[in-house]
Amino acid sequence: MKKDITCISCPLGCQLVVEKKNDDYIVTGNSCKNGIKYGIEEMTNPRRVLPTTIVIRGGLHPRLPVATSDAIPKGKIFDAMAIINQVVVDAPIQLGDVVVKDLLGTGIDVVATKSMPKVS
């Protein structure tokens, strides 16, 4: 298996080619060793933090920004969106409040990224 990956560990943005040979991964196109680490991780287990919003009632705005507390597997992003989009909370909310526990069995929570007081 072979994959083209752009390294984002620094602004140079090297075009990496990551190739699986038996049980080893071979990275080419990198200009430094950080590229090897990034390339292998991106090939074997790409993960992303997912920031989005949920519905909030009684707050200053109708939407509350939230994000996963850690990076989740990239392949689960759309499943995660489907779950997060169902969530409705009531103001007040404090930054860091958990709005979804253990998202999709990843052990990772979804938390509020903003405090929103109740407005009457």
Partner 1 sequence: MLYDIIILGGGPAGLAAAVEAYDEGAQNILILERDLELGGILNQCIHNGFGLHTFKEQLTGPEYAERYINQVKEKNIPYMLDTMVLELEDHGDTKIVHAINQEQGYMLLETKTAILTMGCRERTAGAIGIPGYRPSGVFTAGTAQRYINMEGYMVGKEVVILGSGDIGLIMARRMTLEGAKVKAVCEIMPYSNGLVRNIVQCLDDYDIPLKLSHTITFIDGKNRVEGVKVMQVDEHLKPIPGTEEYIPCDTVLLSVGLIPENEITRDADIAIDPRTNGPIVGELRQTDTPGFFACGNVVHVHDLVDYVSEESVLAGKGAAKYLRGELKTDANFETVNGEGISYVVPQHVCVDNLEQDLTFYMRVRNVYSDVVVNAVIGDEIIATKKSRKFLPAEMVNFKIKKEVLEKYPDGKITFRVDPKEAKK
E-strand ranges in the chain read 2-6, 15-21, 24-28, 47-48, 51-57, 63-68, 72-73, 88-90, 98-100, 110-112
CB of 19 to ligand SF4, least distance (A): 16
Rounded Cα gap, residues 74 and 72, in angstroms: 6
Give the shortest CB-74-to-ligand SF4 separation in angstroms: 19
- Counting residues that bind ligand SF4 (by CB under 6 A) gives 11
Interface positions with ligand SF4 (CB under 6 A): 7, 9-10, 12-14, 30-32, 34-35
Interface positions with partner 1 (CB under 8 A): 6, 8, 10-13, 31, 48-53, 55, 60-63, 65, 67, 74, 77-78, 81, 95, 113-115
